[in-house]
Amino acid sequence: MRIGSRHLPLNALQGFESAGRHLNMRAAGEELNVTQSAISHQVRSIEKALGKALFEPNRRRLVLTDDGKRLLSAVREALDGITATALQLGEDAYAGTLTVAAPPAFSTQWLIPRLPRFLALYPDLSLSLERLSTQGSPLPKVDVAVAFNAIDFPGMRVKTLAELEMFPVCAPSLLPTRQMQPEQLRDATLIHEDGGAIWSRWFAATGADPAAPRRSIHVASTQDALALARAGAGFAINDPFMGGHFLTDGTLVRPFGELSFTYGQYSLVTQPPERLGAAAGGFVDWLVREIEATPGHR
């Protein structure tokens, strides 16, 4: 590919896309089976051809510039299109139904809002989305599953998608100062989606004494907890997958800044690679890219 009088290798764009997605040159090199220095060289070759920086200079962690974000979005869209076309060329790429299972909260809050992007890539593919039961239940007969805190699926391939970071959230109206301290929760209402274990884990992770709140509210699901928090009823525990979009639209805020704790992980469960169909492989590739593009994922 040529840009003006300069040559831009196509493999450099793939290296940049991986580095921009991971925000880590080493991880990009491992994904593409090349060295970290090779990824750095590819990124520099694009920057030289464009005459623009793609990553902020002098950062301990990779941060995309505005130009880098624009290019990453364009390259990612192009790669999705290439993947879809390649799958179309396979005999079984669009045959039958792709069956996916995931926990209800993950499906409702994270997966379903993004699914139209996947379906647009594969217009002739039928999709069946099933509910994955609680931990310890047998895995239904599906092509792909997303499981929470479950790794024991005999005969299946299990790969970590993301570690779950949990943190308190509340409506902006409940934030008395720019950033609160844990002790202030003694005068607040805590919203629980369990018996109180998640809040206890957060207090332990921060090193603060567990607060005896003014009032506790117990609900049946994460969705209910976040809905009450958005309505200003109290403080709930959130994570980037279940309620990250509420942080983006400003209906929820993090009153304690970056204070959080790791609470389990999401895992990808599939057939072994040699038995994975083309459509399932396309869904897995798309899902991983979407997960890695989710703000706050680990």
126-160 burial code (b ≥16 CB/10 A, e <16): eeeeeebeeeeeebeebbbbbbbebeeeeebeeee
CA distance linking residue 40 with residue 127, whole number of Å: 39
In this prediction the pTM is 0.62
Cβ 99 vs Cβ 125: under 8 Å: no
Q: Go through the domains of the chain in sequence order and give each one's CATH number.
A: 2-87 (1.10.10.10), 96-298 (3.40.190.290)
Task: Please give the pLDDT value at position 169.
Answer: 94
Residue-wise pLDDT tens for the chain (298 aa)? 544 445 667 778 888 988 888 888 888 888 888 888 888 888 988 988 888 899 988 767 788 999 988 898 888 888 777 766 665 555 445 556 789 999 888 888 889 999 998 888 888 888 999 888 755 556 778 889 998 887 677 778 888 888 888 899 999 999 876 678 888 888 889 999 888 888 888 888 887 777 677 888 999 888 899 999 999 999 999 888 888 888 888 999 999 888 888 888 888 988 877 777 878 888 988 898 888 877 666 5
Cβ 192 vs Cβ 216: under 8 Å: yes
**Cα separation values, 109 from 103, 226, 239, Å:** 10, 11, 11
**Range 177-183 contact pairs with CB under 8 angstroms and sequence separation of 24 or more:** 179/255, 179/256, 179/257, 180/255, 180/256, 181/256, 182/206, 182/208, 182/211, 182/256, 182/259, 183/208, 183/209, 183/211
Task: Please give the pLDDT value at position 297.
Answer: 60
Phi-psi region of 96 (alpha: psi -120 to 50; beta: other; left: phi over 0): left
Structure tokens that stand for 258 in this block: 């970056």
